[in-house]
Structure 1
Amino acid sequence: MTTQQQEALSQAGTKVRMKYDPSQIGECTGKADDDDGDFLVQVSFNGKRPDWFIADQLELLEEEVEDDITRIRTGRIDTIDTLKRAFARIQLGGKMSEIFYSMDTTHTEFMPHQFKPVLAMLDSPSQGLLIADEVGLGKTIEAGLIWTELRFRKQARRLLVVCPAMLTEKWQYELRYRFGTAGTITDAAGLLEILEHPDQLTVDNQCIICSLQGIRPPSEWEKAETSSPAARLARRLNEMSVEDPVFDMTIIDEAHYLRNPETASATLGNLLRRVSDHIALLTATPVNTSNRDLHSLVRLADPDQFQFADQFQSILEANRPLVKASNALKLQASTYGNVLEHLTDAQQHWVLRRSEQLQELIEELEGYDLSTTPNSSQRIRLRERIERLNLLSHIITRTRKREVMVNRATREAKHLEVPMSPEEQSAYDIATEAIARYAEENDSPEGFLLAMPQRQMSSCIFAAVDHWLNTSGLVEGDNGQFYEDTGEDGRVLPESSSRLIGHIGRHIAGKVDLSALRINDSKYAQLIEALSAFLKRHSDEKVIVFSYFKKTLSYLNSRLKEDGIRSVIVQGGQDKKAIIDEFRNSRTQQVLLSSEVASEGVDLQFMRFIINYDLPWNPMKVEQRIGRIDRIGQKSPKINIFSFVYKDTIDDKILNRLFDRLNLFENALGGAEDILGDSISVMSKRLLSGKLTPAQQQAQIEQTADAIEQRRRDEEIVDESSSSLVALGDYIQSQVTEAHSSNRKISDEDLIEYITDFLDRYAPGHTINNSERDHQFSIRLPANIAIDFGDFTRKEKLTPSRLSTGHEKSFIINNQVASGSTQKYELVNQFHPFIKYICQKISQEEPHTPLLALKADASNIPVLKGGGIYAFKIENWSFLGSKEEDFVRSAFVNCNTLDEVSGNEASEIMGCIRTHAEDWLEAPTQLDCDDKIRHSIDTVEKLLAREYRKELKEKQSENNDRVRIQEDSVRKSHQRKRSQLEQAISNNMGNDRYIKMTRGRLKSLKNQTEMLMEKINNKKHIKDCKEPVAVGILKVE
């Protein structure tokens, strides 16, 4: 070492690095000494306490850096741990586009289709999404995965869930159990209180859950004199809409309640959209592209681009040939010419006429021999580029059961038409006579009032007679049965029902023997026979029995216990989740007796045998019953459905002429609400009127079946059409599956390595000990790090951690968000404050590009199975425009043949290196032909630079298209609104006050449009950045 170098090392502030670990960069303190012939220098590395080092171990950073080959020859190369550290730093930074931060971290089973909405939301410029999956495919889970993703990527903390009242507890449970998010159920007054105290919204990982009915605004909510909590909440939300978003994400379940823009629910949706950074609307309604209701929901998700229905329709039509082009690429026989034909068709539409991406893709295809077929990798790349053109994939996702439930359980239905026993027939006739006499004496009152006793008898004759003899009116819930059958509120007054029931009770008293009815209960006899046979063959299984009449449930519970079958009732007014959980886990309870309430928002797929002890006339309600067990998570290949009706009753006719004809038990009804329309409501009210003869009843049922059958055919056509317009879902699904199989996620091992590496480099004096059980550690931070970490958590308002105490504490390092800390162990996952603290500290490091020499077995790298020595480079690319994207890209060049590997294959090699490669310690002596290696490294750097320029060009074209469409939408919106306001002025000449107000609105419109255009303009030009991650040599043998 020269005297000049020694002098430099003796000066405070001189920057140095370790010769044999270049990632270790330090700063001299100014202290140096000659110790027995060794020149010693005091250096502080990475903020650690200064220590003494032999000068020959160090090199000045200011010195001219030797080329890569010289460094390899002299052994001054980095280790693979440096590469793993770099990958972990990038991944845990929370910006990687190809990493799923929600994958395998929640208490859910991996289902590829459930990540389609995650990708769509991340790709959405408006940060709004309509999720329109069929019932039973896990929309709750999809919304929870989006929330988990946003928590890590965007540091999201404030979640609001709005849903029907009956689903609030389910959401609270699902968020806590599956996603580790604590939820508080509140009402309008409670939410208003929270909004008035913003600190309550910044608590880490908390959720507010409200019922739609409880917080939607009343009429005239804008007037100050309307003082209800819901009105005051609406006004407060309206005031806050001009401020920063209040909620990081809002989820609205059963969003079809918001589709009529004239309703209070829609008003609430608009108010919440304006105060929410992200919004997810969940509905099972089919994507009916001719339906303006759908446009209302899409506009709520993206108010700027889909303000008008005709714009929405135009985008739908423009999207059709794009999906056809993508579908053509699925077929091996499709040629470049076939694909080009569809893309040329797409370019004819005004929406895509100026698309730069589409024009570039067409020009590329025109360069091929149009009669040839693309190979596999070309088809994948072309489909990816077409997906970027898709105008709707970022706003609507829809998955149907037949697309994902390949081995879906088959439904096996059996109907039992039970003849009444003589005792039952007699009771039925006597009660019917009593009802007819009451109608004559009371001038034929409302049909519902007269029909309900017969509906009760259709459920269970004994329970109905017992009810009439021992109660004075309708039991709670009976009035709701009219709604179940007709969709409308019966509004029966208590005194009216009391008089009718009293009349029937007096008429049958002394004429009907209750004990004889109980002994000769024909329907129960069939039930116990079916149950006993099933439970004898399947003693470890459970059965659900549905009835809409509470008295029937109580009666069945009593009879089953007498016959040695333990049952439990779940109905309205109970904590149904607690009851169902206990039932699921019980070894003795075998039958769940359920009213209609359990068929709403409850998952019962741990059973496969369902019994309809009676039948609602509304097929939608029957489908909801079956749908509780026919959903994702059902393990049985077959579902058994038994349905009981008394022979020769209206129920019998409906079962045979409506349900059977439409095959409603064997096949899911699909978009039930759209299919049924008002057919069931009309039919039920006429049947319940009591004025139809048996022949007229039969004709009414047939007429209803005809109407529903036609609507079902129409819906199937619409749904097929919409799937060809809306999304390229199967391509996205395959991408998700590939990401899962290649482990593009944060693993437990990633976290452990990240933490231990940080402690080794930044926290001298720490202790970390792994217990005998996997992932259980005892950790103690040194005092300075513990204090700094504690300050960090307080400043960032994060949950306090035991690590900040400076004492040795027990931890479980497990990347599961649904798991929680215990009294003994604190859970460390990717959301833990210490991970965020490490990310912040590492981001302050000076950049260093590791030089590596690695080796791996060819069997672990299928892409390079031929072996050889490869030069490689890895880079981190970032693009920020109308959306933000972050990638890690790599390239490889064979040092002998100069064969190039990039794109997906290079990414696959990169993943294999992380898992299977090790340091090639013999590289300094085993490498030969320096010029060839040097040329290969130069070639791979040029290759990656070429790929980067190509990617940047594609991203800029994609961004230009996005910005252009947004600009067009804003201009069209402005022109239409301005025309409407100018016409209003023209129509009200002479009304000075109105004209003044309207001109004020014109001025506000102009200002708002200018703001929107400036916001869009700021995203026109891509801000790009590429950072080197590593460069090196890989030996594959």
Structure 2
Amino acid sequence: KPTIREGELSYEVLSSNGKKTQIYESEIILKDTEVEKDYLREKDIASPKEFLTKYLAQVFYSYYTSNQIKCITNSRLSLMPHQINVAHRLSEKYFPRMILADEVGLGKTIEAGIYIKEMISRNLAERILLIVPASLVNQWKFEMENKFNIDFTIYDGKKVKKLRRRGTYNHPVLLQNPFYYDNFIICSLQFARNPKYINMLSQITWDIVVFDEAHHLRRYLLNKSTGNFRETLNYKLGRTLSKTTESLLLLTATPLQLHSFELYSLIELVHPEAFDSFSEFEHFRKNIPFINLLFKNLSKIDELNTFEVKNTVKLLRDLNYIDKNTSLNKSINSLKDKAKRSQILIKLEKQHTLSKFLIRNRKKNVISDKYINERVVKTIMVEPTQEELDIYNEIRLYLAKIYNMAGNAKNKNLGLGFVITTLQKLLTSSKEAFLKSLKRRLLTLESLRKEDPDYFTNEYDDLTIESEELEKDNKVKENLLSLENQKKILQEFYNKLKAIPYDSKSEALLELLGKIYQNNSNEKIIIFTQFVDTLFFLKDIIKKAYPSFSINLFYGGIDKNEKKEVVKKFRNSNKFSVLLSTQVGGEGRNFQFCRMLINYDLPWNPMKLEQRIGRLDRIGQKSDKIYIYNFFIEGTIETDVIFALNKRIDLFKESIGQLEPILGKIQEDMKDIIFNEKTPKFEKINEFNRDVEEKVKKAEEMELKLDDLLIDKKSFQAKSLMNYGAYDQIRLQHNELFNFISMFFSMKDKKFGNIYKIYESNEYPLLNGEFLIKIEISENFLRLNNTLLQHQYIGTFNLKLARKMEEVDFFALGHPLIDAIIKLCLSNRLLGKFSVLELKKNSLSKKFKSELRNINQFFLFIFKIQFNGYITERTIIPVILDNNGKIYELLAKNIFNGSDMSQFFQFNLNEEKNYESEIMLMKKQFPKAQKVVQQRKSRWKQDVLKLNDKIFQNERKKKKKLYIYKKKTLTHKLETLKKKLKRKKRETPSDKTIDRINSLIDQKKKMKQLEKFQRLKQDIAFIKKDIASTKQKLDDLEFQYIDLKNDMQKKNLRKFETKLLSEGIIILSD
């Protein structure tokens, strides 16, 4: 099927081994035109550099496309052990369908990103869709690009319109569905749930679909006994895409919020076949705490007292794990047998179905105390003048009046309510921001969207995340804020505010900055505000008061490169540095090098506050303490409410992620208090306090309930995680990749470009021993590539430095430049079939020198062993022999291990010398080399077959379960329809009855009876049609399943192929 990839047409091709790949149109053309020419070129002797560069490219490609976990060292990550564990669990499942439910702050995005990159590197995932809340779209794009070198395209209404306007495509499918244009797509949940887009997205077969904040995919249980429910548009989107994707990941820290039906609904998305009904799930759920207790007791049976052992036996009997007729003593003795206990544990694990669908890690289990920073919270209470307080109260009451006129909580005009709330927040953010809003008449939803997109994206889109329809402007209520009706009163407010010559809040900020400067003139501080107008206002007053300070702005209005530059300036500055940031500006960025944060205004949603603090409070923070300054205005209702909330849940001192289900809704309660006109303030706040306490208690209960469901033998403690052998399989070192790229750019008189080390730079302050890499790409290289490359890159191959400097490129496998270089090296544009290499004896160890003292030359054979099965695996093996056929395995490992080849080889080839006699000798040694490879293959073969068969069997079981579930569902539907048809037929009047109806004199009664009969006939016709359709679906399902099994079997060839890639002569020189 044709697809546009990177601006070029590509095709999905089914290979003889059953594997699907995509190739560019230009690649198909090249194959026919250059075969003969390339064949002749390969007969030439390759230069040593060209030969060795091609060898290294083959090694890196085989490594990158292998089924080992390798992307954790090829991504800009500071990994925690539990993330390595989750990445392994996902990757070993091939195409997992899982709920990732780690607590807030444990890196679910990173876990999903590692899995995505792994699947891309293995050539198993070409179409990937990320659906996230609107306020997180840019953050996800940044994380995927910055951490994993994966470029996702953001799709929204503007993007779709732009693609529809394009006149360059004629294909009718492309014309109807713009989502065919890109393979890696990210879009907001609010955008994707539009029924029109649900239909378009479902037309595409996706390899991986990821939902972030998946608890928004919600169904509501209407009747527990019948299992009837109401489905939201969000859930419909999830259900529809679940059917069209191989892998489905649902990310949520709170899969269980208020009712177990929420968790059941998410499981239905990933594995609809798991439970027949909600009642079956409930029966299963109620047994899990007992199963977990058995896991715990059986694991430490020797430590239990007599009473605990007896209770364990009783529980095993009740759940039918041991024979009820066996005596108590005999049962106790059997549990002391390790093998018997093991059998019971295996049975228990099979019963613990939830661990197959859901992964959850808790901070207390996986994060060591040494990673937890102390939060030092300081309150800055601003005392406004009476004049400031009076105008604040006057405006608040005015806004409250209009807010309450916009409707009650159930039918409030969402847009108008949002505008009023924004004005109230502006009022307490800064006088200047509020004045600018009045001056611009920022009084409609659309103008707010244009004037401050940062705030709009962060607040309004979150407000509408669970709305069932797009906001429709209520023109009548919008007129409450029209210029004509409100011009006089708004002008009055403007004049009063403008007349106040001072701003107590900004003066308090300047005073605080002065005190901090006196203590440390090199301090770095991030000041957060919700509004761009406040951002620019603060910049002006700080610059005026402290001209020597370094001040930078960080908000959504600056582009990607500007953001990189701002982070770099802020981090590298030796002055007292201030970074002014909006909520959106700071998302996705990590500021571990900064320890001070000022909340100039406080968001009403406490989770936004936690996100701000999380930019600094994360693993890698250099300071033991993080200082958080919070600005409050004495006498305002906002201060009273947030103080009350802080008393209940300690907003600033510790992570509040587990309270997310209630905190996201608390801002609605805050609005009711702030815009309250009638009930006394303190009465409202007391009511608010009681409500918060009840909600916190409920959230804690749900947390414990979730723990009971999920804690099993697959839960990992920090100690055991630290010993997890994830890194055992990772062989690649970043200096090996650097050596390969350096050799590539030194070939052919540097015709492909140049590479430099940067040790000193005013732009990038570097410590002793640190250096950056500058790579310049030639026009010649750019012409040879299909991918869109830059002319110049500045970055590093060093993972530690890449983490430190997020604004520079991280050169690793998966980076577009590195991938383009490997692709070019593997093509026929580079020679590499045969070469003559000159090995420097002095570069070898004493042991090798002694062993090789009487040898002048070797023969080198480089083989590729490839396994083609349900998975594809390959390995590159270099074999070195002397003239007598003796094998030098250790020498080959020592030289061809990815080290700097220039330390072993001279790169001067004597092109005039004739090597025919050496080539004849080399050919004689080929069978011996081949035999060596066959022996090595047998050692490798067993592991690969085991891995292949495990993945194949798991996938086959998964497909079979899904087939049985679908068949069962359709069969049940067919039986129900047949019963319904039978009932309707019984209701059909006889011919005699119809004649009687026709003879009725009362025309009204007659028409009513005939209409009823007609409706009955239509119902029967529809049911018959539905029965026929369901039967057809059952037949189709049967054929589809047979085809699927055949395709899987066809793909699973389980064949090994050995191919000689290249050969050479190695001459030893002193």
Aligned partner of 1:398 in structure 2 is: 360
Q: Work out whether 1:258 is the aligned partner of 2:217.
A: yes
Cα deviation, residue 93, structure 1: 6.6
Report 1:920-999 matches (<5 A): 967=960, 970-987=963-980, 989=984, 990=1016, 991-999=1019-1027
Point out which structure has higher relative CO (alpha carbons under 8 A, 6+ apart). 2
| TM-aligned CA distance change 1:680 to 1:217, over 3 Å | closer
Q: Is the 8 A contact 1:472 1:501 kept in 2?
A: no
* Equivalent in 114, 118, 141 of residue 145 of structure 1: 114
Aligned partner of 1:537 in structure 2 is: 519
Out of 724-733 and 137-146, give the one that drifted further.
724-733
Aligned partner of 2:75 in structure 1 is: 106
Report 1:515-530 matches (<5 A): 515-518=500-503, 521=504, 523-530=505-512
Aligned partner of 1:690 in structure 2 is: 677
Aligned partner of 2:1032 in structure 1 is: 1004
Q: Work out whether 1:619 is the aligned partner of 2:606.
A: yes
Cα deviation, residue 693, structure 1: 0.9
**1:670-694 deviations in Å (ceiling 9; x for gaps):** 2444234745424522441322212
Q: Is the 8 A contact 1:542 1:590 kept in 2?
A: yes
| TM-aligned CA distance change 1:1010 to 1:340, over 3 Å | farther
- Where does the alignment leave 5 or more consecutive residues of structure 1 unmatched? 1-45, 52-81, 219-230, 354-365, 779-788, 803-809, 844-854, 858-874, 889-909, 918-940, 1030-1037
| TM-aligned CA distance change 1:494 to 1:202, over 3 Å | closer
Percent identity, aligned pairs only? 22
Cα deviation, residue 968, structure 1: 5.2
Distance 1:813 1:756 in 2: 16
Aligned partner of 2:478 in structure 1 is: 493
Aligned partner of 1:664 in structure 2 is: 651
Q: Which amino acid aligns with 2:112?
A: A
Q: Work out whether 1:417 is the aligned partner of 2:376.
A: no
Q: Is the 8 A contact 1:418 1:647 kept in 2?
A: yes
* Equivalent in 118, 121, 130 of residue 87 of structure 2: 118
**1:903-929 deviations in Å (ceiling 9; x for gaps):** xxxxxxx99999899xxxxxxxxxxxx
Cα deviation, residue 496, structure 1: 1.8
Cα deviation, residue 999, structure 1: 0.8
Q: Work out whether 1:562 is the aligned partner of 2:544.
A: yes
Report 1:325-724 matches (<5 A): 371=336, 391=353, 395-406=357-368, 407-428=371-392, 455-460=425-430, 464=434, 476=448, 493=478, 495-496=480-481, 498=483, 502-505=487-490, 514-518=499-503, 521=504, 523-548=505-530, 551-564=533-546, 565-571=549-555, 575=559, 578-579=562-563, 581-586=565-570, 587=573, 590-598=577-585, 600-676=587-663, 678-724=665-711
Structure (1/2) with the larger helix percentage: 2
- Partner of 1:660, secondary structure, is helix
Q: Which amino acid aligns with 2:361?
A: T
**1:848-886 deviations in Å (ceiling 9; x for gaps):** xxxxxxx999xxxxxxxxxxxxxxxxx999897xx7597
Q: Which amino acid aligns with 1:993?
A: A
Q: Is the 8 A contact 1:133 1:397 kept in 2?
A: yes
Q: Work out whether 1:181 is the aligned partner of 2:113.
A: no
**1:730-761 deviations in Å (ceiling 9; x for gaps):** 5998499523256345766489799999xx9x
Cα deviation, residue 1020, structure 1: 9.9
**1:185-231 deviations in Å (ceiling 9; x for gaps):** 3433467788968799999996344444444433xxxxxxxxxxxx3
Q: Which amino acid aligns with 1:258?
A: L
| TM-aligned CA distance change 1:117 to 1:915, over 3 Å | same
Cα deviation, residue 90, structure 1: 11
- Partner of 1:975, secondary structure, is helix
Cα deviation, residue 273, structure 1: 4.3
| TM-aligned CA distance change 1:744 to 1:506, over 3 Å | closer
- Partner of 1:420, secondary structure, is coil
Q: Is the 8 A contact 2:796 2:811 kept in 1?
A: no
| TM-aligned CA distance change 1:639 to 1:754, over 3 Å | closer
Distance 1:612 1:599 in 2: 13
- TM-score (norm. length: structure 1): 0.61
CA RMSD of aligned residues (A): 6.8
Cα deviation, residue 173, structure 1: 3.7
Report 1:288-299 matches (<5 A): 291-299=260-268
Cα deviation, residue 815, structure 1: 11
Aligned partner of 1:937 in structure 2 is: none
Cα deviation, residue 513, structure 1: 7.4
Q: Is the 8 A contact 2:255 2:262 kept in 1?
A: no
Q: Is the 8 A contact 1:545 1:593 kept in 2?
A: yes
| TM-aligned CA distance change 1:1025 to 1:987, over 3 Å | same
Q: Is the 8 A contact 1:216 1:265 kept in 2?
A: yes
Cα deviation, residue 717, structure 1: 0.8
Cα deviation, residue 609, structure 1: 2.0
Distance 1:767 1:428 in 2: 69
Q: Is the 8 A contact 1:484 1:616 kept in 2?
A: no
**1:17-53 deviations in Å (ceiling 9; x for gaps):** xxxxxxxxxxxxxxxxxxxxxxxxxxxxx998699xx
Q: Which amino acid aligns with 2:160?
A: A
Q: Is the 8 A contact 1:120 1:394 kept in 2?
A: no
Aligned length: 823
Distance 2:610 2:619 in 1: 15
Distance 1:279 1:828 in 2: 29
- Partner of 1:107, secondary structure, is coil
Distance 1:682 1:93 in 2: 55
| TM-aligned CA distance change 1:1028 to 1:389, over 3 Å | farther
- Where does the alignment leave 5 or more consecutive residues of structure 2 unmatched? 1-39, 46-51, 220-229, 323-330, 758-770, 776-780, 803-807, 834-844, 848-863, 876-891, 900-934, 985-1015, 1060-1070
- TM-score (norm. length: structure 2): 0.60
| TM-aligned CA distance change 1:295 to 1:372, over 3 Å | closer
Q: Which amino acid aligns with 2:374?
A: T
Distance 1:179 1:551 in 2: 34
Distance 2:108 2:566 in 1: 25
Cα deviation, residue 828, structure 1: 4.5
Q: Is the 8 A contact 2:76 2:810 kept in 1?
A: no
Aligned partner of 2:992 in structure 1 is: none
- Partner of 1:717, secondary structure, is helix
Cα deviation, residue 768, structure 1: 13
**1:110-141 deviations in Å (ceiling 9; x for gaps):** 44333344333333365434333344433333
| TM-aligned CA distance change 1:815 to 1:328, over 3 Å | farther
Distance 2:381 2:499 in 1: 23
| TM-aligned CA distance change 1:811 to 1:772, over 3 Å | closer
**1:258-283 deviations in Å (ceiling 9; x for gaps):** 34483444444445444444444434
Q: Which amino acid aligns with 2:148?
A: F
Q: Work out whether 1:207 is the aligned partner of 2:184.
A: yes
| TM-aligned CA distance change 1:514 to 1:329, over 3 Å | farther
Q: Which amino acid aligns with 1:514?
A: A
